[in-house]
Chains A and B, each alone.
Chain A
Amino acid sequence: MMELVLTFTAVVLSLAAAGAIVRIARGPSLLDRVLAADVLLAILGAALCIDMAVNRHLNNLMLLVAVSVIGFIGSVTVARFVADRREQLNES
Chain B
Amino acid sequence: MNDKSSEEQLLEFLYACPVGLIECDAAGDIALMNPHAMQHLLPLAGARDASNLFAAMEQHAPELRSIAAAHTAPTGRVCDGHRIFVDLGPGRRAQAPKVLACTVVKLAPDRLMVTLSDISQQVVQEERLRQADTWFATLLDDVDEYAALAIGADSRITSANACFTRQTGYESVSAIGRNLADVLEGDQSGGDLRVEEQVKIAERDGWHLQEGWQQRSNGERYWCQRLVVARFDYDAPSPSGFSIILRDVPRRQEAVDDMRRLLTCDHLTGASNRRHFSQVMEREQGQWRELRQSLSLVVLDLDYFKAINDTHGHPVGDAVLCRVAEACAALLPPRCIFARLGGEEFGALLPRYDQIQALGLAEEMRAAIADLEIQVPTGPLRVTASLGCATFDEVGGSIDALITLADERLYAAKRAGRNQVCHSSARAA
Are A and B genuine complex partners? no
